[in-house]
Chains A and B, each alone.
Chain A
Amino acid sequence: MSAESETSERAPSERPAGNDVPLLEMKGISKEFYGVRVLDRVDVDCRAGEVHAIVGENGAGKSTLMKILAGVYTPTEGEVRIEGEPVSFHHPLESQHAGVSIIYQEFTLLPDRSVAENIFLGREPKRGLLVDRSGMEARSAEILEQLAPDDPISPRAQVGLLPVDRQQTVEIAKALSLDSRIVVMDEPTAALAAHEVERLFERVARLKERGIGVLYISHRLKEVFEIAERVTVLKDGERVDTVPTSEVTSPDLVRMMVGRELDQYFPPRAEPGSRGPVKLRLRGAGNYLVSNVDLDVHGGEIVGFAGLQGSGRTELARAIFGADPFDEGTLELDGSERQIRSPREAVAAGIGFVTEDRKAEGLALMQSVRDNVSLAWRGLRRSLRKKHELEIGELTKAVELRARGLGQEVRFLSGGNQQKVVLAKWLATEPQLVIFDEPTRGIDVGAKAGIHDLIRGLASEGVAVVMISSELPEVIGMSDRIIVMRHGSIAGELEAGPTEAEIMFLATGETDIDVDDSATPAAAGGEQPQEDGS
């Protein structure tokens, strides 16, 4: 308890910011997980007083790169240098001592403690035997004042009661109190509203003034152009390029971020005439996470949902499924208005939900295939065990499950087969609408095609299918229609087979593109060609 943890006095700003040696250099960084290469010889550097943005699609390797810098992961190969000195981090504390602060997407603050207590956690100043509370508060107030002079945060405020952007300011203050030289911000605006983003940028500007290097991870290109000097584009774990923001436009960046061939096999789309009646209809639906959603899903079609992480796709699915029920607008199933207030009601109404995280939300891993398949069904009606057994056998056959038997524990199955168990579980309830959230995440390429076939098969039997996916080729290849979400509402709708760029434009809100052959006559977008982001 007498932990005299370092109060190392570093003075970053007094160091002459020599432009020849970058503050931070990451060279040839590769990272493999179980033989899968997620980063391949990536180079990134950052100068003092510079904001360097890192952009890329979901899964491009941005987070992995940052976690290497943070000391959470160690790179398989490659080298990190700070002011020319090679460093190697094996623990978050080591990178912290070297002057690297990470502001994670989820804040690392204690909501029940005060602002000052959070800022100085683990490094509380002492006066004699006691914690120097007044000193701690004064020092916090000083840092907070520098960050937000117009509206400083009280060091005594309880963090959990502050609005999100102010909590983030507390995170930044914590980084400053550590005398960090490099601050990494991982999607800092994901949780912020427009006016809060402005305030964040002011704070970032102050970091620059102090000679701190900022690595800014985002997929919002507009922000990148607003605050970054240079931008590095990552794609599939490789660095595409690093360019000054003054020399590119946002369509350039989008092209660099996407643009891969669509070499996967997808089952054929629905015949034009096979679309059935409307199964699900939402009008002005919303809750505290999504707003003003109008949506029709017909039987027999697959509606793909694209969008960035946090754009509200999963939240919408959860709302439809009654997990976070809508509290405004209307929901109709098969033409009659319904209120779905719990997952149980959703299941009873014929909605199935194949969740994103099948291990946590979709399966009871320690239980058998039999128990898992009958889970949703048993929740609704109790039937005789004999009959059960028969039907389960048929269902698992229908999804082409490969397991040693119905008694096998689900945790021993492969990802693809686990997903088939989840699907069988929903088939048992004879659903009218099935929502898939990232149906092939973490599944081998080979097994993906099988899942895709099953999803299409479900649709061709007249079931309405909603499929959320962050993999653009998958959304494009599978969907009969694509809805793009942004900021918790629908940003636009695209007909089957759009380009990745079209989706990304809608998802990032960079520029509103003309939806060419949809039923809506393309608005007079002539005076505003696609470059207002730059």
Chain B
Amino acid sequence: MNRAVSRAEPRVSLGGPWGKVTGAFGAIARTTSGPVYLVLLVVFLICFAVVTIDGGEFLSVDNIREMLVRSVALGIVAAGQTLVILGASLDLSVAYVISLTSLIGAETMDGQNGQIVTGIALVLLIGLAIGLVNGLVITKLRVNPFIATLGVALIIRGYLEANYAGPAGSSAPDFRKLGFENIGPIPLSVILLFAVVAAVWFLLRWSRFGNRLYAVGGDEQVAKLSGVRTHRVLITAHVLCALAAAITGLFLASRLGAGSPLVGQEASYDLQSIAAVVLGGTYLLGGRGGVLGTLAGVLILAMLDNTFDQLEVNSFAKDVARGLIIIAAVAAYSVRWRRHRRREAAAAEGVDEPPQGGAPVLQEGRAT
């Protein structure tokens, strides 16, 4: 480690240029999702190369469609999870919410097209209620989000295990189209995913709620001192997150044709969604990141899955590889961020260090 160099370099270069990187590249590189898209590109190139060398097809329309459709469920949950994580919270109940809502949706519809609206409404209402409970327990009872949502998850699990032995209900025929129909070349479900992501993006960027959510996650005290009603913001985030999980439950009910008490936890959407959010460059402690990064995170995971499937890698090795990649990516963001922070500090102090103020006094005080 060469200290002298590492110290001299930022001093020279950082006063101006760091703050003024211009152009599209600079703009992208400075956003938190910038590096995520870089990772996405690298993963894409590697997957493409590996699959092609192996003799498979990576860029065929079918394969791309396959990858996207397989991203839908995780993508929607993760978009919701992004909101709570940005607010420095967490939702571990999403997997069970998904199972529960898939069952309730399918049972309410009971194979009749006339029940679709009722089913959807009921599911969304349940999502809203669960989100409200999560949010209230966290803010008003001051229970750590990890524990609060884990507790809610366990309660739902107990309910599911007591009442369901296996798949139940039946999605309405028209409702199943959501899972299988295309509009032009694009699957309906993929449009749903992009709609949800767009809605979350829009909220984060263009609503007061979004602006304040970043503040609450970044520094709750600062937010409070600026007049933000932090509890309200956090509860809203939890409600939206649970709604996203409920939508995922509906989508899966449409896809499976029935509700399943295991569909959420089998794919472990709770931890997977958190992994996708973090892989997408959102800071786990809140205040930094965005839903576009999460989308990239989900796509990265989908490409990896697809590649592993095509290469017929066994599923244990798949998990190991996925784990390694998540850790590596987040470590890379973290190192990059810390270096960036240190440079900032050095830049700020570099100006501050007063050779004008300090040194002469030293001579006067001692050596004259």
Interface pair A113/B215, CB less than 8 Å apart:
yes
One of B144-152, B189-197, B206-214, B321-329 contacting the partner: B206-214
Interface pair B358/A292, CB less than 8 Å apart:
yes
A520 proximity list for chain B (CB < 8 A): 366-368
Interface pair A291/B4, CB less than 8 Å apart:
no
Q: Mark B337-351, 1 if CB is under 8 A from A, else 0.
A: 000000011111111
Q: How far is the CB of B196 from chain A (nearest CB, A)?
A: 18
Interface pair A122/B215, CB less than 8 Å apart:
yes
Interface pair A292/B365, CB less than 8 Å apart:
no
| B226 interface neighbour in A108, A491, A523, Cβ under 8 Å | A108
The answer to the question of B201 belonging to the interface, with a C-beta cut-off of 8 Å to chain A, is: no
Interface pair B348/A164, CB less than 8 Å apart:
yes
Q: Mark A89-115, 1 if CB is under 8 A from B, else 0.
A: 000110010000000000011111100
B24 proximity list for chain A (CB < 8 A): none
A117 proximity list for chain B (CB < 8 A): 211, 214
Name the CB-closest residue of A to B283.
Answer: A112
Q: Which of B3, B224, B229, B353 has the largest count of A CB atoms less than 10 A from its CB?
A: B353
The answer to the question of B19 belonging to the interface, with a C-beta cut-off of 8 Å to chain A, is: yes
Bound form: Cα–Cα A291–B352 in Å? 11
The answer to the question of A506 belonging to the interface, with a C-beta cut-off of 8 Å to chain B, is: yes
Residues A291 and B353 in contact in the complex (CB < 8 Å), given A110-B222, A492-B361: yes
The interface size of chain B toward A, counting residues with CB under 8 Å, comes to: 57
A512 proximity list for chain B (CB < 8 A): 361, 364-365
The answer to the question of A191 belonging to the interface, with a C-beta cut-off of 8 Å to chain B, is: yes
Interface pair B215/A110, CB less than 8 Å apart:
yes
Interface pair B233/A1, CB less than 8 Å apart:
yes
Interface pair A192/B352, CB less than 8 Å apart:
yes
Name the CB-closest residue of A to B288.
Answer: A112
Interface pair B222/A108, CB less than 8 Å apart:
yes
The answer to the question of B181 belonging to the interface, with a C-beta cut-off of 8 Å to chain A, is: no
Q: Mark A122-161, 1 if CB is under 8 A from B, else 0.
A: 1110100111010000000000000000000000011011
A424 proximity list for chain B (CB < 8 A): none
Q: How far is the CB of B301 from chain A (nearest CB, A)?
A: 25
Bound form: Cα–Cα A5–B359 in Å? 51
Residues A288 and B350 in contact in the complex (CB < 8 Å), given A110-B222, A122-B223, A122-B227: yes
Interface pair B218/A288, CB less than 8 Å apart:
no
Bound form: Cα–Cα A403–B357 in Å? 48
Interface pair A110/B353, CB less than 8 Å apart:
no
Interface pair B357/A194, CB less than 8 Å apart:
yes
| B362 interface neighbour in A108, A158, A489, Cβ under 8 Å | A489
Interface pair B225/A108, CB less than 8 Å apart:
yes
Interface pair A328/B358, CB less than 8 Å apart:
no
Name the CB-closest residue of B to A485.
Answer: B358
| A1 interface neighbour in B222, B232, B345, Cβ under 8 Å | B232
Residues A493 and B214 in contact in the complex (CB < 8 Å), given A1-B232, A3-B229: no
A109 proximity list for chain B (CB < 8 A): 222
Q: Mark B1-32, 1 if CB is under 8 A from A, else 0.
A: 00110110000000100110000000000101
The interface size of chain A toward B, counting residues with CB under 8 Å, comes to: 58
Interface pair B209/A121, CB less than 8 Å apart:
no
Interface pair B227/A123, CB less than 8 Å apart:
yes
Residues A3 and B359 in contact in the complex (CB < 8 Å), given A113-B214, A122-B227, A491-B365: no
Interface pair A5/B227, CB less than 8 Å apart:
yes
Bound form: Cα–Cα A391–B351 in Å? 49
The answer to the question of A457 belonging to the interface, with a C-beta cut-off of 8 Å to chain B, is: no
Bound form: Cα–Cα A291–B346 in Å? 13
Name the CB-closest residue of B to A102.
Answer: B225
| A121 interface neighbour in B228, B344, B364, Cβ under 8 Å | B228
Interface of B is mostly: helix
The answer to the question of A35 belonging to the interface, with a C-beta cut-off of 8 Å to chain B, is: no
Residues A486 and B358 in contact in the complex (CB < 8 Å), given A288-B7, A328-B4: yes
Q: How far is the CB of B152 from chain A (nearest CB, A)?
A: 22
Q: How far is the CB of B234 from chain A (nearest CB, A)?
A: 11
The answer to the question of A323 belonging to the interface, with a C-beta cut-off of 8 Å to chain B, is: no
The answer to the question of B219 belonging to the interface, with a C-beta cut-off of 8 Å to chain A, is: yes
The answer to the question of B236 belonging to the interface, with a C-beta cut-off of 8 Å to chain A, is: yes
B206 proximity list for chain A (CB < 8 A): 130-131, 133
The answer to the question of B354 belonging to the interface, with a C-beta cut-off of 8 Å to chain A, is: yes
Bound form: Cα–Cα A164–B15 in Å? 12
Bound form: Cα–Cα A96–B354 in Å? 36
Bound form: Cα–Cα A160–B223 in Å? 16
The answer to the question of B60 belonging to the interface, with a C-beta cut-off of 8 Å to chain A, is: no
Interface pair B228/A122, CB less than 8 Å apart:
yes
B348 proximity list for chain A (CB < 8 A): 163-164, 191
B223 proximity list for chain A (CB < 8 A): 121-122
| A110 interface neighbour in B15, B219, B351, Cβ under 8 Å | B219
Interface pair A110/B358, CB less than 8 Å apart:
no
Interface pair A92/B225, CB less than 8 Å apart:
yes
Interface pair B222/A487, CB less than 8 Å apart:
no
Name the CB-closest residue of A to B1.
Answer: A341
Q: Mark A166-200, 1 if CB is under 8 A from B, else 0.
A: 00000000000000000000000001111010000
The answer to the question of B287 belonging to the interface, with a C-beta cut-off of 8 Å to chain A, is: yes
Residues A491 and B361 in contact in the complex (CB < 8 Å), given A113-B215, A161-B18, A289-B349: yes
The answer to the question of B356 belonging to the interface, with a C-beta cut-off of 8 Å to chain A, is: yes
Bound form: Cα–Cα A509–B226 in Å? 36
Interface pair A122/B212, CB less than 8 Å apart:
yes
Q: Mark B31-56, 1 if CB is under 8 A from A, else 0.
A: 01000000000000000000000000
Residues A486 and B361 in contact in the complex (CB < 8 Å), given A1-B232, A163-B348: yes
Name the CB-closest residue of B to A522.
Answer: B368
Interface pair A288/B365, CB less than 8 Å apart:
no
The answer to the question of A162 belonging to the interface, with a C-beta cut-off of 8 Å to chain B, is: yes
Residues A493 and B366 in contact in the complex (CB < 8 Å), given A3-B232, A123-B227: yes
Q: How far is the CB of A315 from chain B (nearest CB, A)?
A: 10
Q: How far is the CB of A448 from chain B (nearest CB, A)?
A: 30
Q: How far is the CB of B346 from chain A (nearest CB, A)?
A: 5
Q: How far is the CB of A73 from chain B (nearest CB, A)?
A: 14
Bound form: Cα–Cα A192–B352 in Å? 6
Bound form: Cα–Cα A292–B19 in Å? 29
B353 proximity list for chain A (CB < 8 A): 193, 286, 288, 291, 488
Interface pair B361/A131, CB less than 8 Å apart:
no
Q: How far is the CB of B57 from chain A (nearest CB, A)?
A: 41
Q: How far is the CB of B222 from chain A (nearest CB, A)?
A: 5
B221 proximity list for chain A (CB < 8 A): 108
| A162 interface neighbour in B19, B354, B359, Cβ under 8 Å | B19
A308 proximity list for chain B (CB < 8 A): none
Within 8 A of B (CB), among A496-534: 506, 509, 512, 515, 520-521, 523
Residues A121 and B215 in contact in the complex (CB < 8 Å), given A1-B207, A158-B30, A160-B344: yes
Name the CB-closest residue of B to A291.
Answer: B353
Within 8 A of B (CB), among A401-443: none
Bound form: Cα–Cα A484–B365 in Å? 10
Bound form: Cα–Cα A157–B350 in Å? 21
B30 proximity list for chain A (CB < 8 A): 158
Interface pair B226/A122, CB less than 8 Å apart:
yes
Bound form: Cα–Cα A194–B355 in Å? 11
Name the CB-closest residue of A to B224.
Answer: A92
A-B contacts, 27 of them at CB < 8 A, read A3-B212, A110-B218, A110-B219, A110-B222, A112-B218, A112-B288, A113-B215, A121-B211, A129-B207, A131-B208, A131-B211, A157-B19, A162-B19, A164-B348, A193-B351, A288-B346, A289-B349, A292-B362, A327-B4, A328-B4, A484-B365, A486-B358, A488-B353, A489-B354, A492-B361, A506-B365, A509-B361
Q: Top 4 nearest A-B pairs by Cβ distance? A: A492-B365, A489-B358, A122-B227, A523-B368
Q: A164-B352, A509-B361 are in contact. List 5 more A-B contacts (CB 8 A).
A: A1-B212, A3-B208, A163-B351, A286-B353, A492-B364
* Interface, chain B (partner A; CB < 8 A): 3-4, 6-7, 15, 18-19, 30, 32, 206-212, 214-215, 218-219, 221-229, 232-233, 236, 287-288, 344-359, 361-362, 364-368
